[in-house]
Amino acid sequence: MHIPYLPHTDDDIRQMLEVVGVSSLAGLFSDIPAAIRYKGPVKLPRGSSEAEIRKELTLLALQNKNTDSYINFLGGGSYDHYIPAVVRELVRRSEFYTSYTPYQAEISQGILQIFFEYQTMICELTRMDVSNASMYDGATALAEAVLLAVNTRGRKKVLICGALDPQNIQVLNTYTRNLDVSIENVPFLDGTVDLSILKEKCGEDTACVLVQQPNFFGCLEDMQEIEKLTHAAGAVFVVSVDPLSLGLLMPPGDYNADIVVGEGQGLGNELNFGGPLLGFFAAKKELVRRMPGRIIGETVDKAGRRAFTLTLQTREQHIRREKATSNICSNEALCAVMATIYLAWLGKEGIREVSSQCASKARFAAGLITKNPDFRLKFSSPFFKEFVIESRISAEKINKALPAGGILNLLDLGRFYPGLKNCLLVCVTEKRTKEEIEQLAEVLGKVPKWN
Amino acid sequence: MELIFEKTREGRKAYTLPENIKGGAVDIPDKFLRRNLTNLPEVSELQLVRHYTALSKRNIGVDSNFYPLGSCTMKYNPKINEDIAALPGFTKIHPFQNEEDIQGALKIMYEFEGLLKELSGMEEVALQPAAGAHGELTGLFIAQAYHRSKGRKPGKVIVPDTSHGTNPSSAHLAGYHVVTVRSKDGNIDLDDLKAHLNEDTAVLMLTNPNTLGLFEKDIETISKLAHAAGALLYMDGANFNAIMGITRPGDFGVDIMHFNLHKTFAAPHGGGGPGSGPVGVKAFLKDFLPVPVVRKNDGQYSLDYNLPLTIGKVKAFYGNFNVILKSYVYLRMLGKEGVRKVSEMAVLNANYMKELLKKHYNLPYPSVCKHEFVLSLNTFKENGIGALDIAKRLLDYGYHPPTIYFPLIVEEAFMIEPTETEDKETLDAFIEVLIKIKEEAEQDPQLIKEAPLNTVVKRLDEVTAARNPVLKYEKKR
Amino acid sequence: MFPAELKYTKSHEYVKTEGNNATLGVSQFAVEQVKDIVFIELPRVGQELKAGAPFGSLESVKAVFELVSPVSGKVTAVNEKINTSPEMISKSPYGEGWMVKLEMSSPGELNGLMNNLDYQKYTEDGGSH
């Protein structure tokens, strides 16, 4: 069978071997000791044709319940927002997706300009001074923010406010386990951080305070209070935000955040089963030379024309090596391009409307679901697009019943919080319609009838 | 060209959104609300499409130009990968769905791990890391956990002087201090290595073939030395394209390695990402893998979080699934006959170019190379020309230049990696151009120093960009 | 020619002393090596420096040069102007382009440094150790 993507004819190979001066291909590998040479073909399946593999994988794809056919109320760090057709169309252009990192600026002005627009949009959403051109995801962006804070303040304690995304906490623990850093969690009270305990714990030994807005339960934290406590102790105020909330909610720059990170997947990127994602990282300008990741800057060329280039590269691994601020090399570039196109499509009015719709549809859903006495709103704090319902029926039963009713399971918070048994996280984005929400309430209402 | 913000006209809109629901009034207290507008662009959909289409024309990709970037493996990105990766059954699935509802996705992850294990001789694979550097960090965390489980805390990581910058920076991020050993005649200097290896060495990180494009012939000795000192052997898999089906890292003593799916495994580079950097380990390290691990029992796939000694998570969810999917399709298309042929052709292409170019350019390491080789462009010094200038002139001829100034041990380094997907005519044309540029450099050095001349912008003022960074658009008042 | 009243290190920093006070900077040789200076990272006032330990860095677009302190002491002043006008370092490395002033804790350390003639020879030999 023909092996695809290899253009060499037997003639080509013969001619080339002659030029190289070896009699056969084996001669090219004579420097590999015989003892370690692999004998025989590797034990992979035989090569497939396009038609065969396409058929096989289409069937495999059909085995997955997807959000086109099932209604999705899942959130918890991966969000189902509407992605306009323009995003997919434009990002399919091979000049974008088959291009390399734009180290050769003269031939990469296209994508460099997009990254510059992306950085601008992130700063506009968050009202921060500077942004980089992406991190792997919100979780690693948060971990890198903590490393930055710890290194600048020279202090060791990191305080996590209440309901921060549990996966983010796990990643942070992994990143800091071997460093001289202590991570402490401040418990939540009625869904948001217990400010009195935060006040007690926040002191001169605190490098940074981390808070997520909205938090993992969808609840809104008192950012002004937390900011006051954090800065009074001379600590760095690190905030992780939902970018889709910033059309409605106060941006962290306005409440004096020092570093802002978050998960940007909801900006024009598919769910993709959790990857690739899009971490964003923005900060006050004093921190720019300590920020991780690639950064694009504006300059001029020799003819005085405006142009864009990778800049502040001396922070990065290819120059600083073991002294680099971070080891990040490849980032989530194409995902950032998608986010940029998405945000340009939404525009000034669109972002406001998406945010409002998320909030009002979530409220409608919360109201409708809790009409059923088997369900109550777990927390009384105001929320954005996610909320927690406590159920008298087991989460397991509910999650078995929902798909049969055309709805994907909900996130069982009991898996992350032992104290929150039978509590489910409901996420309502602008994609959800009145009918879909009514269907959710209806299916939930029928669960006790299932055996 | 204007920025999208400069095309804004107040009141213009591109978006459409469904009607909001009445009866869901937003009752969020004032103090949480935004008091100003977000100055995102206001453009029509056509303006938007023209803008980004125009920008695409100010960019190039493998689909349009030859990209012989050493160390990056800019091979062709097959379109069937893109096609399958766009299926809603793969893009529109949420990571928190019931396991029984996403069996197709879990199966792909499980099988892909199996393919990587077979190719590399590693015994367990974790797909979580988002990029090569992330894989390195993950691998180092695993090594750390391993040593800790033995009651040891060695604090040092050794890297060769040819290593990619991510190697020492990952080591530093993991909390290690880094020691560099010299290379001699293109390979790791065994004497220098012996002098530095001791019980304080946690990991020896190397690349094989190395970044000079040469196979570390003494790898078995190196592996024995590292293990005798109690260290683990880590391999940076960036150069795996040279040895598939020919030799396996697991067979030459590697304990931990990472793969770059956006290099060897044909996932597109995307302008810098997303990548994917799965990590392979030997069985004795399996307890430390990041969670969750994909398991298969009785034909059912599941996510196992129950690894008491796990290093935890290095990323949210399970890894860059959509990238992994593309590489999975790629390996299935190549199959058992294809993978070896890929490496053979990659190595043939590189050696062919090397033989033809060595007559005209300085080749510091003339022995048979693997999938890439390094020239030293220090022969143009008296004309005041270096690798950068030659690279810039290549842009005028429509090529993305090779990698420059890496590895650090070669003066005016110029690293060429053609990859196996390029035909002989493309290689011949590129070689001809390089020979022509050499003549230009000798006869008209000023031309080279001014290059590029035919691109949309000329050389940039990088000094001002770094001194006074302007990192976002701000409307002039 | 390097100024006679100064002492020099192998990594091209100089020290000017006035009693117990020292002024640190980089020599003309260093300036020529770095070419376009983009950013200078300096210590804070009050910071303790140690002889032989890094106290900051000099950055060009593509490279970083660590600044190593010739003597130990406490930083009393830092030249705030050189980051807005890095050309002061290239034009006048021993004058306006000074970097750090400190109060020496062990003036004896000066004896381990090169004088201008030894430094001249050192730079002629290549200037790297």
Mind telling me how many Å the CA of A158 is from chain B's nearest CA? 18
Positions of E strands within A201-304: 206-213, 236-241, 259-263, 279-283, 296-300
Contact criterion met (CB below 8 Å) for B339 and B331: yes
How far is Cα B173 from Cα B170, in angstroms, rounded to an integer? 5
pLDDT at B24: 63
Q: Which residue of C has its CA nearest to A315?
A: C64
Given strand B156-160, what is the order of strands in its sheet?
Answer: B124-126, B279-281, B256-258, B232-236, B201-207, B156-160, B177-181
Percent share of chain B, pLDDT over 90: 97
Verify that B113 and B252 share a domain, yes or no. yes
Domain boundary among B289, B305, B334: B334
Element at C17 (helix H, strand E): strand C13-18
| Per-residue pLDDT at B282 | 98
* A286, A314, A317: best to mutate for the C interface, most C CBs within 10 A: A314
Per-residue confidence (pLDDT) for residue A242, from 0 to 100: 98
Q: What is the pLDDT of residue A17?
A: 98
Q: What is the mean pLDDT of residues B178-189?
A: 96
pLDDT at A205: 96
Which residue in B7, B40, B159, B234 has the most chain A C-beta atoms within 10 A of its own C-beta, making it the best mutation to test that interface? B40
Q: What is the CATH number of the domain that holds B213?
A: 3.40.640.10
- Smallest CA–CA distance, residue B465 to chain C, in Å, is 9
Cross-chain residue pair B466–C61, CB shorter than 8 Å: yes
CA pair distance A337, C125, nearest whole angstrom: 51
pTM score, two decimals? 0.96
Overall average pLDDT of the B405-420 stretch: 96
Judge if B44 and B94 occupy the same domain: no
Q: Residue B206: pLDDT band by 50, 70, 90 thresholds?
A: very high
User: Where does the pLDDT of residue A325 fall: very low under 50, low under 70, confident under 90, or very high at 90 and above?
Assistant: confident
Whether residues B349 and B314 fall in one domain: no
pLDDT number for residue A324: 84
Helix (H) or strand (E) holding B201: strand B201-207
Average pLDDT over residues B40-60: 98
In the predicted model, is pLDDT for residue A236 greater than 70? yes
Q: Is the backbone of residue C46 left (phi > 0), alpha (psi -120 to 50) or beta? A: left
pLDDT value at residue C36:
87
User: A411 by DSSP, 3-state: which?
Assistant: strand
Q: How distant is the Cα of A312 from the closest Cα of chain B, in angstroms?
A: 5
Contacts of C60 in chain A (CB under 8 A): 314
* Mean pLDDT, chain A, integer: 96
Residues 6+ apart with CB under 8 A from C83: C39, C40, C42
Q: What is the dihedral of CA B393, B398, B400, B402, to 10 degrees?
A: -50
Taken in order of first residue, the domains within chain C and their CATH numbers are 7-105 (2.40.50.100)
Written as one letter, the residue type at B93 is: I
- Whether B353 and B315 share a structural domain: no
Last residue of a domain, one of B56, B71, B98: B56
What's residue A105's pLDDT?
97
- Mean per-residue pLDDT, A89-111: 97
User: A319 to chain C, minimum CA–CA distance in Å?
Assistant: 6
- Residue in chain A closest to B145 (alpha carbons) equals A178
Q: Please state, in angstroms and as integers, the Cα–Cα distance from residue B138 to each residue in B120, B270, B290, B312, following that order.
A: 18, 23, 8, 10
Number of domains in chain B: 3
The last residue of one of the domains, among B334, B369, B393, is B334
* DSSP state at residue B382: G
Residues B319 and B298 in one domain: yes
pLDDT at A450: 54
In this complex, is the C-beta atom of A261 within 8 Å of any C-beta atom belonging to chain B? no
The percentage of residues in chain A with a pLDDT greater than 90, rounded to a whole number, is 94
| Pair (B118, B138) in one structural domain | yes
pLDDT at B78: 98
Q: Is residue B71 part of a domain?
A: no
Looking at the structure, tell me whether residues B366 and B438 fall in a common domain: yes
- What was the pLDDT predicted at C129? 57
Q: Tell me the average pLDDT across A118-143.
A: 98
Q: Are residues B273 and B377 in the same domain?
A: no
The answer to whether residue A208 scores a pLDDT higher than 60 is: yes
Residue B222 in domain? yes
Rounded distance, CA B231 to CA B143, Å?
9
Q: Identify the structural domains of chain A with CATH numbers, from first to last.
A: 85-343 (3.40.640.10), 347-446 (3.90.1150.10)
Same domain, B154 and B32: no
Residue pointed to by tokens 């050309």 = C87
Is residue B62, in this structure, part of any structural domain at all?
no
Q: Which of A289, A320, A323 is facing C39, going by the closest CB pair? A: A289
The answer to whether residues B154 and B108 belong to one domain is: yes
Quote the longest CA-to-CA distance of chain C.
38
Same structural domain, B41 and B94: no
Averaged pLDDT of chain B: 96
What band does A167 get if pLDDT is binned at 50, 70 and 90?
very high
Answer whether B258's CB lies under 8 Å from B277's CB. yes
Asked, for residue B175, whether it belongs to a domain, the answer is yes
pLDDT band at B476 (very low <50, low <70, confident <90, very high): confident
Mean pLDDT of C26-54: 90
Residue C59, chain A, CB below 8 Å: the answer is: yes
pLDDT level of residue B171 (50, 70, 90 thresholds): very high
Pair B153, B263 in one domain: yes
Identify whether B425 is part of a domain: yes
* A322-351: burial string, b at 16+ Cβ within 10 Å, e else: bbbbbbbbbbbbbbbbbbbbbbbbbbbbbb
C-alpha distances (whole Å) from A359 to each of A158, A362, B167 are 31, 5, 45
Distance CA B200, CA B220 (A): 21
CATH of the domain at B393: 3.90.1150.10
Instruction: Please check the confidence at residue B477 and state whether its pLDDT lies above 70.
Output: no
pLDDT for the residue B22: 78
Band the pLDDT of A292: cuts 50, 70, 90. Answer: very high
Tokens describing residue C112:
């381990």
CA distance B241 to B455: 32
Name the band, by pLDDT with cuts 50, 70 and 90, for residue B23.
low
Give residue A449's pLDDT. 57
Q: How many CB atoms neighbour CB A396 within 10 A?
A: 12
Answer yes or no: is pLDDT of B443 > 60. yes
Say if residues B236 and B407 touch (Cβ distance below 8 Å).
no
Neighbours of chain B (3+ CB pairs under 8 A): A, C
**Nearest-CA distance from A286 to chain C in Å?**
13
Whether the per-residue pLDDT at A121 is higher than 90: the answer is yes
Q: Give the residue with greater pLDDT, A331 vs B26.
A: A331
* B22, two tokens: 């009445």
Task: Flag whether residue A54 sits within 8 Å of chain C, measured between CB atoms.
Answer: no
Cβ(C40)–Cβ(C99) below 8 Å? yes
Sign of CA dihedral A139, A142, A148, A150: negative
Q: Determine the pLDDT at residue C70.
A: 92
Residue B77 is encoded by which pair of tokens?
């990105």
Specify the pLDDT at position A320: 87
| Residue A181 structure tokens | 């850093």
- Scored b (16 or more CB within 10 A) or e, B412-422 reads bbbbbbbbbbb
pLDDT computed for residue B188 by the predictor: 97
Q: How far are the Cα atoms of A309, B70, B363, B440, B444 from residue B448, in angstroms, in the given order?
A: 21, 22, 21, 7, 7
Domain enclosing residue B42, as ranges: 4-56
Residue B72 lies in a domain: no
Residue-level pLDDT at A40: 85
Q: Which residues does chain A have within 8 Å of residue B461's beta carbon, measured at their own beta carbons? A: 299-302
Contacts of B462 in chain C (CB under 8 A): 61
Residue pair A259/A281 in contact by the 8 Å Cβ criterion = yes
Weakest-pLDDT range from A360-374, B13-27, B42-56? B13-27
pLDDT at B475: 85
Mean pLDDT of A320-341: 92
Sheet with A206-213: list strands edge to edge. Answer: A130-131, A279-283, A259-263, A236-241, A206-213, A157-161, A182-186
Residue B209 preceded by cis peptide, ω within 30: yes
With contact defined as beta carbons under 8 Å apart, do A225 and A193 qualify?
Answer: no
